Amino acid sequence: MGSSSSKVLTGLLCTPSVSCQVPAASAASSENWTFQPLPFSSSDRWIVDANGNNVPVVGINWPGAADTMLPEGLGYQSIANIAQKITDTGFNTVRLTFAIELVDDILDNGGDVALSTTLTNALGQTNGIAMLAKIINNNPQFNANTTRLQVFDAVAAGLATQDIYVHLDNHVSKAMWCCSLTDGNSWFGDTYFDTNKWVRGLSYMAAHGKANWQTFSSMGLRNELRPALTGAPNLQPYTWSTWKTYMTAAASAIYSANPDVLIYFSGLESDFNIEPAVGGSTLLDPGFSFDVASYEWAHKLVFEMHEYDEGISSSCPVYETILESFGADATTRTTGNRAPLVISEWGHDETDASDAWQSAYSECLAQFIVQRQLGWMVWVLAGSYYIRSGVQDSDETYGLLDHMWSEYRGVNSSAAIKQLVQQTYAAYGQ
């Protein structure tokens, strides 16, 4: 951890010499932010509520896009317990991920799939039945015939009970752990990335959420676009022009199905680079130009970026300059497409022993977020997954929660997250 970053952060964040523990008083209180009325819009660089007041987005990722196509963790906890933990930590938003395959099954393959079937498909007969029993034991409102989308509805309802906004993210097309360059989900036209089904799936979920989810605030068009090395026959050129063609079409489809939700635009290189979209042009693709104001959904656009530790953050000023050059200047620039920016994934090993909670990366990024009043969503809530890349009950060291989705994985690490939560609200006067 760079001492320079610690100095910069003195008084703002935890440092190697100052504990990240929050005062005991704060740990006991629960909801500690103002619920603001939907629908949200974007206005200049801000996300604003129905009354025009600025909204901080302070969120955590809850994955639901892997093989089972179910929100994770329900074999260990009830939805209510998980939602309570999210509230206790102070988050106001959950980025819930889903696979387009869920919608394809509903529309093309005989209808929504029951829990018993999706679990035995993903985990095998014996383990699938065992997991079904655990999920029902924790969540007795379900039975073997409860469908995947009904489980998503129950999660959305559980979050609404806690006043938590639901941001729905399309993570993949074919349900699996994301992301590689060869997984067939990478880029428009890739092996599983059928662009028509993608637009249809987004549109379906936009309408479904509008009808059924009380705190549905926003949707992300696609997680971590990246080059595909599959040689799929329909693969489109990896250019910003291709990006614009499909992203604007999908945004228009969402907007017509649901004119209320914000629409998050991710970039290329696994969402590390949003600069051409923010700037409105790029030398790499002279035919590309992007003028947000010319679209009917201009007042719904939010940019999103992902920022993991790329080993480029030993000095906060240098790190900020790099992030800005990849589009993190979306909120401050005076030319191009000035708009709200949410860091919709960042995160690190949550075990205290890793020390990642006090790395230069964590401290520089946290400082940048607070100073710029950016939204953010940490990766990840999950302490473990039903199945990840073929491994069942797979542990997640980046999980805020432990393997059983019960306690925080790290004491100091979770305290650092809570501190950033409170600092973000404070930057908005809350």
Ligand X SMILES: *[C@@H]1O[C@H](CO)[C@@H](O)[C@H](O)[C@H]1NC(C)=O
Binding residues (CB under 6 A) for ligand X: these are 19, 25-26, 29, 32, 90, 143-145, 352-353, 412, 422
CA–CA dist 330, 341 (Å, integer): 6
Half-sphere exposure of 243 (CA within 13 A, CB side): 31
Which of 36/412 has CB closer to ligand X?
412
Are the beta carbons of 359 and 416 closer than 8 angstroms?
Answer: no
Which of 5/203 has CB closer to ligand X?
5
Q: Least distance (Å) from ligand X to the CB of residue 347?
A: 18
Which of 144/160 has CB closer to ligand X?
144
Containing H/E element for 342?
A: strand 341-346
Q: Tokens 């029902």 correspond to what residue?
A: 136
> Which residue's beta carbon is nearest to the bound ligand X?
26
Which of 29/51 has CB closer to ligand X?
29
Q: Least distance (Å) from ligand X to the CB of residue 20?
A: 7
Which of 87/203 has CB closer to ligand X?
87
Half-sphere exposure of 237 (CA within 13 A, CB side): 9
CA–CA dist 30, 90 (Å, integer): 7
Q: Least distance (Å) from ligand X to the CB of residue 136?
A: 9
Q: Least distance (Å) from ligand X to the CB of residue 144?
A: 5
Which of 234/397 has CB closer to ligand X?
397
Q: Least distance (Å) from ligand X to the CB of residue 348?
A: 13
Which of 19/332 has CB closer to ligand X?
19
CA-based nearest residue to 378, from 339, 341, 348: 348
Which of 355/393 has CB closer to ligand X?
355
Which of 145/321 has CB closer to ligand X?
145
For residue 305, which phi and psi values (nearest 5 degrees)?
-135, 155
Name, in order, each residue with C-beta under 8 angstroms of 220's C-beta and a sequence gap of 6 or more. Answer: 95, 167, 168, 169, 170, 264, 266, 304, 344
Q: Least distance (Å) from ligand X to the CB of residue 358?
A: 8
CA–CA dist 264, 249 (Å, integer): 13
Which whole-number Å values give the CA distances from 56 to 93, 105, 347, 404, in the listed order?
9, 35, 19, 30
CA–CA dist 48, 215 (Å, integer): 15
The string of DSSP codes covering 280-319 is: SB-TT-TT-B--GGGSTTGGGEEEEEEE---S--SSHHHH
CA–CA dist 410, 319 (Å, integer): 26
Which of 42/118 has CB closer to ligand X?
118
Q: Least distance (Å) from ligand X to the CB of residue 69?
A: 19
Q: Least distance (Å) from ligand X to the CB of residue 51?
A: 22
Query: What 3-state DSSP class applies to 166?
Result: strand
Joined together, the tokens standing for residue 204 give 């379906």
Which of 129/298 has CB closer to ligand X?
129
Q: Least distance (Å) from ligand X to the CB of residue 276?
A: 39
CA–CA dist 110, 253 (Å, integer): 24
Q: Least distance (Å) from ligand X to the CB of residue 239?
A: 45
Q: Least distance (Å) from ligand X to the CB of residue 303?
A: 28
Are the beta carbons of 190 and 137 closer than 8 angstroms?
Answer: no
Containing H/E element for 341?
A: strand 341-346
Which amino acid would we find at residue 81?
N
